[in-house]
């Protein structure tokens, strides 16, 4: 079985994430959406809400599992027997950052990182931009899946 994880904070899930997940499920038998827990980070959305955003978005996709984890991503991969880490790339800056992480992960384990380019119409979307739009009362609905509802 080809199992991959797609790690992130998903604060919130964006159409960019959705694009990578949707295309990633065609490559793997199982895709584990792994929400990392970082006590140092201040999130806009609580963990339970972020989890629900993703579960509702992919409720009809049996190849997707949503979990949370702490610690190193490669250690979590070993724990659940995932051989691949899926990552999305929006721009050259993402590539440089993700390349360094992928090399480090490869040094620490046998886990391969698979990169997908975000579709061109979604490459400008980031969670930080979405959070800024939400904070300032803007219309965020064209940046996230329908399952992301903000009650602020």
Active-site annotation, residues: 17, 41, 90, 127
Separation between Cα atoms, residue 81 and residue 104, nearest integer Å: 19
Which value, to the nearest 10 degrees, does the dihedral of the CA atoms of residues 128, 108, 21, 48 take? -60
**Cα–Cα distances in Å, from 58 out to 17, 54, 88, 128, 135?**
12, 6, 18, 22, 26
Let me know if 95 is exposed, middle or buried by CB neighbors in 10 A (0-12, 13-18, 19+).
middle
* Residue position matching structure tokens 């006590």: 39
């Amino acid at each position: 079985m080809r199992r991959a994880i797609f790690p992130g904070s998903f604060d919130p899930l964006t159409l960019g994430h959705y694009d990578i997940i949707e295309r990633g499920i065609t490559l793997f038998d199982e895709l584990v959406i792994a929400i990392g827990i970082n006590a140092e980070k201040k999130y806009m959305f609580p963990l339970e809400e972020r989890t629900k955003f993703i579960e509702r978005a992919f409720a009809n996709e049996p190849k997707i599992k949503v979990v949370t984890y702490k610690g190193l991503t490669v250690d979590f991969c070993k724990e659940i027997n995932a051989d691949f880490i899926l990552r999305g790339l929006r721009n050259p800056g993402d590539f440089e950052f993700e390349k360094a992480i992928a090399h480090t992960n490869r040094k620490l384990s046998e886990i391969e990182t698979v990169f997908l380019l975000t579709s061109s119409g979604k490459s400008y979307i980031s969670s930080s931009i979405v959070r800024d739009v939400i904070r300032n009362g803007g219309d965020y609905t064209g940046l996230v899946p329908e399952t992301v509802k903000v009650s602020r």
